[in-house]
Amino acid sequence: MQTAYSAQVLDPTRPGDNAILDQLRADPDIDFLDDHDAQLESLRALRPAPTDELLGEGRRWAYYPWRRAVVAVLGPRGFQALRLDRNRNNITAAEQTKLSRLTIGVAGLSVGHVIAHTLAAQGLCGKLRLADFDHLELSNLNRVPATVFDLGVNKAVVAARRIAELDPYLPVEVLDAGLNAETLDDFVKGLDIAIEECDSLEVKARLRVAARDLQIPVLMATSDRGIIDVERFDRDPGRPILHGLLGQLDIDLLPGMTSREKIPHVLRHLEAERLSPSTAASLIEIDRTLSTWPQLASDVIIGAAAIAEAVRRIGLGEELRSGRSRIDVNWALGQIHEPDMAHRYETTLDEPNTPQALNGDPLERLATAAMRAPSGGNTQPWQIQITEDSITVGIDPQHTSTMDIEFRGSAVAIGAALLNIKIAAAEHHVLGPVTITDAGSAPLQATMRTATGGTDSTLARLYKPMLDRESNRHHGTPKPLDDATITRLTDTAEQHGARLRLLTQRDDIAQAATILAAADRVRFLTPHLHREMISELRWPGDPDPDTGIDVRSLEFDPGEMAVLDVLRRPDVMAHLAEWGAGSALGDDMRDRVLASSALAVVTVAGNDLRAYATGGSAVEAVWIAAQQQGFGVQPVSPVFLYAHTTAELEELSTTFAAELGELQSEFNDLTKLQPGESIALILRLAVAPPASLPSRRNITRIQTSATAKPHPLSRGPW
């Protein structure tokens, strides 16, 4: 009678199965274990929520004859969904489905036991075929995860039973005669991958020949120093078996060779010169003080992990070439060192090593004011030129980015810098006429000629508030705006040639939060946008600290700062994009917007650079006014902000262009944007403590006189 090693799965809705269940229940020596309700509850809790069809599969009963027990389990699809849920997304659901089509054979069920069980546990195959002629002995239990109840049982049967208790639905075939001339063809037939863990050199060789004939890849793990061996006969059916390490040996001669005659070939196969000292020394002691070569459970487990990853790669068509590698834990532990405790999370401020401002003649003070202007990512996309009687601020194209489409964002920064120049000029009584041109060497530049005694009391009163203006990234609290504040902010925008739309209703702010969070997700998941975003960040000690955003100004707590190390990784973003996931990437933006008192959307008529510069001046004026009213202000620049056409959305992100178009349309509808209007910038207003540190400025972008040399103080931050 054949030894039982598979579970019998019974469906009580089928009359025949129900009759068997009745017979089993009538046997007092058979136990029934029913945890179905708890399994079903866990299935319901999965994300995304399972379908009604999955939840309605119904209870099954798995009968294990060797256990004399019957266990309640979920239906096949629900069982797999729940059992393999913790694989996601190291293995995605789609990848799991693809892997479930694999049939894998494992020959040699000492080391192979852990391998086969690992493949089943990870759901890396849809069928297993196990071959071993030997029976489990007590000396095997140093590395085979069986028990004393299994002693004397065929090793392949022991492994098959353990797998059945893990997954009663997984088909497992057992060849308890092992591999020989009569069984070899049956073993390899229909396999997608063969895994060889046999002791016999002859069996190793013959299995590979048979696999090569059928173009089946062969994998092997050897416990010494974590050898993982890959032979891709599916890609190269002409390659020699065992990588040619047997040389010209005729494998038909192996059965007649003595153990001593096989030694040179075995040592070549094992690469004796690379064996660990203890294993190499132990080989000398075999048949003297040792009965066989040593193996450790920990090494076997490492080998199983390597084989599992190789199977995953082959099954999913990922790159895996023929050859050998080693996963030497002993060596790795010799390289142990203290983790890098970089001081990037410290909140202490750097000591400034250069002047905070240019405090010379009035023109230098005007340049100081211009540099105080905000810009996207604090890129400071300008070049400032000072002559004896003028100051010019113009767009410097080398500081643009993908989101700065046609320099529109840069033009907003130029407009803000121009207003700062005028405010400082009014304070120092040199306010003069302004000329704006978009036909010179720069895409856009503005020049103010000084006029002795020139001033404007309204502008002059803004001088100190302008110098105090800051980007405040604290979440803050949503204190409502009173009517007087709304009127002042609205009038301020109009006085500078723009319009202001204030989103103050909680429903509107919530809708904006959803839109802006989705746009942030796109920025994270689009490789070049993500790269540019991360390049804007500065950690203490980074080179070029005088541009970009100091991470300490993000106002993250230590936990959020630690997560930033994950968010900055392009490989992580690539996986999320591939999975169509990453909704959490917009959570920080959503939370910030929801904590806002209002969103101030500054708009202008037109979409040329002059219009955006006008918008920039209005943005700066509204920002200063909001801060005077006690609000912290943070700029918000969704990816779609400066795009006007489908082609420009495609330029931003080919993959997400359609989504960006929808988000832009939703936001324009929310703000009631009119045809011919453009958004200069969005400002988030909230009641918040002062920013932890100011943005830094690069004074190398100031040039003096007609020689256009950098200012002599241009050495760093101020």
CATH 3.40.50.720 fits 101-333, yes or no: yes
Q: With a cut of 60, say whether residue 707 has pLDDT above it.
A: no
Could you tell me the pLDDT band of residue 357, with boundaries at 50, 70 and 90?
low
Average pLDDT in the 376-394 region? 95
Residue 151 burial (C-beta neighbours within 10 Å; 0-12, 13-18, 19+) = middle
- The answer to whether the beta carbons of residues 549 and 635 sit under 8 Å apart is no
Identify which has the larger pLDDT, 271 or 379.
379
In the predicted structure, residue 116 carries a pLDDT above the cut 70? yes
The pLDDT of residue 663 is above 60: yes
User: Does the pLDDT of residue 294 top 90, yes or no?
Assistant: no
- In tens, the pLDDT along 433-448 reads 999 999 878 899 999 9
DSSP string, 557-570: -HHHHHHHHHHT-H
Position 613 confidence tier, pLDDT thresholds 50, 70, 90: very high
Residue 251 · residue 209 · CB < 8 Å: yes
Indicate whether 709 pLDDT > 90: no
Q: Are 414 and 608 in contact (CB under 8 A)?
A: no
- In this model, does residue 713 exceed pLDDT 50? no
- Please report the pLDDT score of residue 341 as a whole number: 65
pLDDT category of residue 546 using cuts at 50, 70 and 90: confident
Average pLDDT, integer, range 332-354:
65
Alpha carbon distance 409, 380 (integer Å): 11
**Which pLDDT score, from 0 to 100, does residue 353 have?**
44
Q: What is the pLDDT of residues 668-703, one digit of tens each?
A: 999 999 999 999 999 999 999 999 988 888 888 888
Residue 361 has a pLDDT of 83
Q: Where does the pLDDT of residue 356 fall: very low under 50, low under 70, confident under 90, or very high at 90 and above?
A: very low
Q: With 90 as the cut, is the pLDDT of residue 704 above it? A: no
Distance CA 41, CA 55 (A): 10
Task: Say what the pLDDT of residue 46 is.
Answer: 96
pLDDT > 70 fraction of the chain, expressed in percent and rounded = 94
**CB neighbours of 247 closer than 8 A, spacing ≥ 6?**
265, 268
Q: What is the pLDDT of residue 715?
A: 34
3-state secondary structure 466-490: HHHCCCCCCCCECCCCCHHHHHHHH
What's the length of the chain? 718
* E-assigned strand segments in 177-257: 193-196, 218-222, 227-231
* φ/ψ of residue 222, rounded to 5: -115, 135
pLDDT tens, residue by residue, 248-284: 777 777 777 776 676 777 777 777 778 888 888 887 8
Dump the DSSP string for 70-96.
EEEE--HHHHHHHHTGGGTTTS-HHHH
* Mean residue pLDDT across the chain: 92
Homologous superfamily (CATH) for 362-703:
NADH Oxidase (3.40.109.10)
Burial of 142 (0-12, 13-18, 19+ CB in 10 A): exposed
- Phi, psi at 649, each rounded to 5°: -65, -40
| pLDDT at residue 590, rounded to an integer | 98
Run of H or E including 610: helix 609-628
Six token digits for residue 1:
């009678």
Least confident piece of the model among 185-189, 523-527, 711-715: 711-715
The predicted model gives 707-714 an average pLDDT of 44
Stated as kind and residue range, the H or E segment containing 202 is helix 201-213
Question: How far, in Å, CA of 422 to CA of 430, rounded?
Answer: 9
Q: So what's the pLDDT on residue 352?
A: 47
Lowest-pLDDT range, 77-81, 361-365, 395-399?
361-365
The runs of H, that is alpha helices, within 60-188 are: 76-83, 93-99, 111-121, 155-166, 184-188
CB 642 within 8 Å of CB 409 = yes
What's the whole-model pTM score?
0.85
β-pair partners for 448 = 391, 434
Look at residue 1 in the predicted model and tell me its pLDDT.
53
DSSP state of 543: S
Whole-number pLDDT of residue 359: 62
| pLDDT tens profile 476-513 | 999 999 999 999 999 999 999 999 999 999 999 999 99
Closest CA to 207 of 306, 131, 264: 131
pLDDT at 718: 25
| pLDDT tens-digit readout, 189-236 | 999 999 999 988 889 999 999 999 999 999 999 988 889 999 999 999
Range 359-384 average pLDDT? 92
Lowest mean pLDDT among 132-146, 280-294, 657-671: 280-294
Domain residue limits, the chain: 1-87, 101-333, 362-703
Question: Do 610 and 436 form a contact (C-beta atoms < 8 A)?
Answer: yes
Q: Is residue 80 within 8 Å of residue 169, measured between CB atoms?
A: yes
Pairwise CA distance, residues 231 & 323, whole Å: 7
Q: Write b or e for each residue in 442-461: b if 16 or more Cβ atoms lie within 10 A of its Cβ, otherwise e.
A: bbbbbbbbbeeebeeeebbe
Mean pLDDT, range 30-53, rounded to an integer:
97
